[in-house]
Structure 1
Amino acid sequence: MKKTITFACLHFTVAFTVTYLLTGSAVIGGLVALVEPAVNTVVFYFHERVWKKYENQSASKVSDYSEQAFQSNDMTLVS
């Protein structure tokens, strides 16, 4: 949890600093430092959902391919 908190503080600081340097306004820097991470958090949530679907589909395809490959290589030894 400490790592998450320190990363959030770093993110706010970077967002504020970049915006302040670009605009010269502490008010705009503060607003961007609050809004941008909030928007980024929402976007990240949906990114994770899409990524999870992609991983599940990829795992399913690999599993299907492995089963087909095993079945096609099924050999019986005759003595």
Structure 2
Amino acid sequence: MAQLVRSNLPTLQKTASYYVVHVTVAALVAYAVTGNFLLAITLSLLEPTVQAVAFFFHEKAWQRWGSRPAAAASASTGVVA
């Protein structure tokens, strides 16, 4: 587990930063909509937590497949750009 964390530290740090911003914004929006502090906190922790996990895996997939040059991508798929 420690090796996994060390090898992905920049992505995990970026994910944590994104999580804090997302929770803050979600709490403010949820409170503005509901007027209920407890409900706003609950909603603001639930949705961004799921989003943070999804973001981590999206970032890893993007590093692997999303940043390939167009020529390499078209060569591997058989599509001519």
TM-score by length of 1: 0.53
Q: Distance in 2 between matches of 1:6 and 1:38?
A: 12
Letter in 2 for 1:61: A
User: Greater Rg, structure 1 or structure 2?
Assistant: 1
Same amino acid, percent of matched pairs: 32
What pairs up with 1:1-79 in 2 under 5 angstroms? 8-55=19-66, 57-58=68-69, 61=72
- Residue by residue over 1:36-77, the C-alpha shift from the partner in whole angstroms, topping out at 9 and shown as x without a partner, is 221121011111122012246438818x8xxxxxxxxxxxxx
Change (3 A) 1:53 1:8: closer
Q: Distance in 2 between matches of 1:56 and 1:10?
A: 25
Q: RMSD in angstroms over aligned alpha carbons?
A: 3.1
Structure 2 stretches of 5 or more lacking a match? 1-13, 76-81
Once the 2 structures are TM-superposed, how far is the Cα of residue 12 of structure 1 from its aligned partner? Answer: 2.6
TM-score by length of 2: 0.52
Q: Larger relative CO (CA 8 A, sep 6+): 1 or 2?
A: 2
Aligned residue pairs, count = 61
- Residue by residue over 1:6-60, the C-alpha shift from the partner in whole angstroms, topping out at 9 and shown as x without a partner, is 7654433221110011112112101012112211210111111220122464388
